[in-house]
Amino acid sequence: MSSRRLTMVSYVAKEYSGSGDPTRSMQLLWGIQERPKRGPKPRLTVEDITRAAITLADAEGLEAVSMRRVGEQLGVTAMSLYSYVPSKAELLDLMIDRVYGEMPRTDSDEPWRARLERVARGARAMYLRHPWLLQVATARPVLGPNAIARYEHDLRAVEGVGLSDLDMDLVVALIGDYVHGSVRTAIEAAQAEERTGMTDLQWWESLAPLLEKVVDWRDYPVATRVGEKVGELYQAPMDPERSFEFGLQRVLDGIEVYLKNATS
């Protein structure tokens, strides 16, 4: 887990990619919007605005991102931004695609399992750097250059291993869904300490006297035994890093069994 302070917001999807003008988003994403041939040189670029919005979202959460706040970061008025980006909806598409561009994309001769591990770890690192991404529903994906390049890269991890094209897509989606759920848990665990000002151990210790009064642990022998072992090891209800590693290997095990059956 990064030591960077995580913004204390609820990571529930509240925004939707692709919710603006699709034509304008595509023009901005692919850099094909018309540029004025006359007049003074533009003070800003779309890249400047996108970077400022990402910095703001990283620091304060997606709710903090507005054209006014982004303008303040750049020392201009919100109205001056509209000549570059028509609204927050299109800006959000730009932010997502730019963040996707940070993910490493390196083809290698490694076995498919190692390549999928690399895909998963890259995605997890991206979410931890930019936890506001968890607030964005992407049922309508951003079709920018980085998003498409990311999809191409991820598919290449299972290219030529014997899967059909549809199964390749499903495997990549499975890895993405696993990472998304796992990283949400990791961020929420880190956020809990920031919100309460107590470590997990301190929080459980504060509850212990009350629990001893209301719970007869003999009624829950398995939960008591396992819970004590977990608590002793982690000093917390869970270790997000260890949970991610365990779960990723089990997901890959399942894919390996499926691949063997599909190619036998």
What pLDDT is attached to residue 7? 45
What pLDDT is attached to residue 109? 85
Note the pLDDT tens digit of each residue in 18-49.
Answer: 899 999 999 999 999 755 555 456 789 999 99
- Topology classification of domain 15-186: Tetracycline Repressor; domain 2 (1.10.357)
**For residue 251, what are the contacts with CB-CB under 8 A and spacing of at least 6?**
174, 175, 178
Tokens of 192: 């809990």
Q: For the chain, give the number of residues.
A: 264
Domain chopping of the chain, boundaries: 15-186
Note the pLDDT tens digit of each residue in 80-110.
Answer: 999 999 999 999 999 999 999 998 887 778 9
For the packed helices 240-263 and 165-196, what is the interaxial angle rounded to 10 degrees? 170
147 close to 97: Cβ distance less than 8 angstroms: yes
Tokens of 163: 């899967």
What pLDDT is attached to residue 6? 45
Mean pLDDT of 182-187: 91
Tokens of 155: 């598919």
What would the DSSP string read from start to end of 225-261? HHHHHHHHHHSSS--HHHHHHHHHHHHHHHHHHHHHH
**Average model confidence (pLDDT) across the chain:** 89
Binning pLDDT at 50, 70 and 90, where does residue 8 land?
A: very low
Note the pLDDT tens digit of each residue in 187-220.
Answer: 888 878 777 888 888 887 888 898 889 999 999 9
What would the DSSP string read from start to end of 112-170? HHHHHHHHHHHHHHHHHH-GGGGGEE-SS---SHHHHHHHHHHHHTTTTSS--HHHHHH
67 close to 56: Cβ distance less than 8 angstroms: no
Binning pLDDT at 50, 70 and 90, where does residue 221 land?
A: very high
Q: How many CB atoms lie within 10 A of CB 213?
A: 7
First to last CA, the chain: 40
149 close to 105: Cβ distance less than 8 angstroms: yes
More confident residue, 148 or 262: 148
100 close to 34: Cβ distance less than 8 angstroms: no
What pLDDT is attached to residue 165? 97
